[in-house]
């Protein structure tokens, strides 16, 4: 049976690299690129079809940071497909990242240099803002939009006699210290990206607990340090020119510097080949690359607990009700 795979944020970086690897693995896939920028999505589709001429590649307009867009996209998915085998939640934003230059220079000459590059812990802050739905933009894009998409697609994801998979692209920057259940949207903090990625870790655990008996299994991956548009936006280009030789040298001594989108997609591709029952819902599956360039996947326990993941799940269900009510009122006024 032809499998249906949807990838959000599929027009570049890790998402596009994953699509290339999936089509190489199974040319009979029905692959759907769910993207915000349709011009870039069409270019990605053309690139994939150039190397996989017989592939089935669909496009879907989806801005996970917009409730209206998520709901419209979900309706289109339900009209197109009768099932979903894999839903890769890869889209994400890190707006206007700022670097603590003093901490960065200090870290370069410390024993913490590898961890600093791998996680950016303590180095990055971001400027968040409120979107048109009244939600914090990073939270809306990285967490709530994907949660709402899953909720809308449950009829296709939770079907009798079928198993479906949800896979979240998280980060080593997902830190418990950045997250607060009392401030889900990270209104009061300065690390919305880290908070949102930790929230996705928690949410994945909760989804597996609530939905695995209905055939829906959720997993989390970390792509390692990958040079993508998100990464390059952190520092001015001239600094990357200076730093890249250092990073390539450090890569000899660590396996977390995957660097390329192809390498970063290793865990995403690896999960495609596994049975859901063999996976640990409390593990984060890391894409790793050895100093000799060998790619592999390794599970590592996540710093999450059931009480907090359950609390987040409940809060998101309540927020969903509020957002839907506000949207309904807004549409009625129009």
Residue 214 has pLDDT above 80, yes or no: yes
Q: Has residue 219 got a pLDDT over 60? A: yes
CB-based contacts of 64, cutoff 8 Å, min separation 6: 8, 36, 70, 91, 140, 141, 145, 146, 149
Query: What's the pLDDT score for residue 238?
Result: 63
Confidence label for 112 from pLDDT (cuts 50, 70 and 90): low
Domain count, the chain: 1
Q: With a cut of 60, say whether residue 119 has pLDDT above it.
A: no
Residue 215 has a pLDDT of 95
The tokens for 119 are 């996680």
Is the pLDDT assigned to residue 111 strictly greater than 70? no
- Per-residue pLDDT tens for 138-171? 999 999 999 999 999 999 999 988 999 999 999 9
Q: Which of 47-61, 130-144, 150-164, 239-253 shows the lowest per-residue confidence on average (mean pLDDT)?
A: 239-253
- Determine the Cα–Cα distance for residues 114 and 227; give it in Å rounded to an integer: 16
Which residues, other chains included, contact 188 with Cβ-Cβ below 8 Å and sequence gap of 6+?
none
The CATH number given to whatever domain includes residue 218 is 3.40.50.720
* Nearest CA among 326, 94, 42 for reference residue 232: 94
When pLDDT is averaged across residues 15-24 and rounded to a whole number, the result is 97
Mean pLDDT of 295-306: 95
Q: Report residue 118's pLDDT band, with 50, 70 and 90 as the boundaries.
A: low
pLDDT of residue 142: 97
Residue 242 pLDDT more than 80?
no
Q: What is the mean pLDDT of the chain?
A: 89
Percent of the chain with pLDDT over 90: 70
Indicate if 296 belongs to the active site: no
pLDDT at 190: 84
**If pLDDT is split at 50, 70 and 90, which confidence band does 234 have?**
low
Residue, of 115 and 210, whose pLDDT is higher:
210
Out of 88, 193, 198, 285, pick the active-site residue.
Answer: 193
Q: Is there a contact between 81 and 30 (Cβ–Cβ < 8 Å)?
A: yes
**Taking residues 179-198, what's their average pLDDT?**
93
Residue 229 confidence (pLDDT): 67
SS3 string of the chain? Answer: CCCEEEEECCCCHHHHHHHHHHHHHCCCCEEEEEECCHHHHHHHHHHHHHHCCCCEEEEEECCCCCHHHHHHHHHHHHHHCCCCCEEEECCCCCCCEEECHHHHHHHHCCCCHHHHHHHCCCCEEECCCECCCCCEHHHHHHHHHHHHHHHHCHHHHCCCCCCEEEEEECCCCCCHHHCCHHHCCCCCCCCHHHHHHHHHHHHHHHHHHHHHHHCEEEEEEECCCECCHHHHCCCCHHHHHHHHHHHHHHHHHCCCCCECHHHHCHHHHHHHCCCHHHCCCCEEEEEEECCCCCEEEEEEECCCCHHHHHHHHHHHHHHHHHHHHHHHHHHHHC
Residue 265 confidence (pLDDT) above 90: yes
Domain of 298?
Answer: 4-333
What are the C-alpha distances in Å from 93 to residues 139, 145, 188? 9, 12, 18
Q: What is the pLDDT of residue 34?
A: 98
> Has residue 83 got a pLDDT over 60?
yes
**% of the chain beyond a pLDDT of 70:** 85
């Amino acid at each position: 049976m032809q499998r249906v795979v949807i990838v959000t944020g599929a027009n570049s970086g890790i998402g596009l690299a994953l699509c290339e690897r999936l089509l190489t693995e199974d040319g009979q896939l029905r692959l759907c690129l769910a993207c915000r920028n349709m011009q870039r999505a069409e270019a990605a589709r053309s690139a994939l079809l150039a190397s996989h001429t017989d592939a089935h590649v669909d496009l879907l307009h989806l801005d996970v940071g917009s409730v209206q867009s998520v709901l419209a996209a979900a309706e289109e998915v339900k009209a197109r497909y009768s099932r979903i085998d894999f839903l890769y939640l890869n889209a994400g934003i890190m707006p206007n990242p700022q670097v603590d230059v003093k901490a960065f220079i200090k870290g370069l000459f410390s024993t913490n240099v590898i961890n600093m590059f791998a996680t950016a812990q303590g180095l990055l802050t971001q400027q968040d803002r409120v979107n048109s739905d009244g939600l914090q933009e990073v939270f809306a894009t990285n967490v709530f939009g994907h949660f709402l998409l899953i909720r809308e697609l449950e009829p296709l994801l939770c079907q009798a006699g079928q198993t479906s998979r949800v896979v979240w692209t998280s980060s080593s920057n997902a830190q418990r210290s950045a997250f607060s259940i009392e401030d889900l949207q990270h209104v009061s903090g300065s690390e919305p990206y880290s908070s949102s990625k930790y929230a996705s870790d928690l949410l994945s655990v909760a989804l597996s607990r609530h939905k695995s008996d209905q055939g829906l299994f959720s997993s989390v991956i970390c792509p390692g340090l990958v040079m993508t548009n998100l990464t390059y936006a952190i520092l001015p280009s001239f600094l990357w020119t200076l730093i890249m030789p250092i990073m390539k040298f450090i890569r000899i001594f660590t396996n977390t510097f995957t660097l390329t989108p192809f390498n970063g997609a290793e865990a995403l591709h690896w999960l495609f080949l596994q049975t859901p029952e063999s996976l640990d819902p409390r593990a984060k599956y890391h894409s790793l690359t050895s100093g000799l360039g060998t790619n592999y996947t390794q599970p590592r326990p996540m710093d999450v607990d059931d009480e907090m993941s359950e609390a987040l799940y409940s809060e998101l269900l309540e927020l969903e009700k509020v957002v839907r009510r506000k949207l309904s009122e807004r549409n009625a006024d129009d």
